[in-house]
Amino acid sequence: MIDVISLFKNKPNPNIPALAPGDTVKVSARIVEKGRERTQVFRGEVIKVRRGADGGNFTVRRVTHGVGVEQTFPFSSPLVEGVEVVRHGKVRRAKLYYMRGLSAKASRTKEKRVEKKQEQD
């Protein structure tokens, strides 16, 4: 008998490390335009991490020339080539939607001190 659940189960992308809201990340995503492929790097702050049965996703926000830009990436997407955590932010909320109303300078977060041994796990 075929297990139907295993057919639709999303496999997590191994190139995405553990993320938390407040982290500053560089996301390398593959973009397909008119038959050509290129890699685009999107650097910003994680404002939302959603986990769920479909694999979940995370939203990255940055302010460019005074305009806020947000992009959402699924954890199971094969188009995400890699995610590099630049720094861990210290925040006290799970969803950082209040950042949308702040200026770029006001939305900066403090850096969380991370032990080296914990980071290698």
Kindly report, residue by residue over 11-40, the tens digit of the pLDDT.
Answer: 888 888 999 999 999 999 999 998 899 999
Q: Which residue shows structure tokens 């909320």?
A: 93
Please give the average per-residue pLDDT across 70-95, as a whole number: 92
pTM: 0.81
25 within domain boundaries: yes
pLDDT bin (cut points 50, 70, 90) of residue 3 is low
Strand runs (DSSP E) across 1-121, as ranges? 24-33, 36-50, 57-64, 67-74, 80-87, 89-90, 110-111
69 within domain boundaries: yes
118 within domain boundaries: no
Domain that holds residue 63: 4-111
| Contact (CB, 8 A) for 42 and 31 | no
User: In this predicted structure, what is the pLDDT of residue 105?
Assistant: 77
33 within domain boundaries: yes
CATH number at residue 99: 2.30.30.790
51 within domain boundaries: yes
Q: Using a pLDDT cut of 70, give the percent of the chain over it.
A: 88
Q: How far is CA 109 from the centre of its chain?
A: 16
Structural domain tally of the chain? 1
pLDDT bin (cut points 50, 70, 90) of residue 7 is low
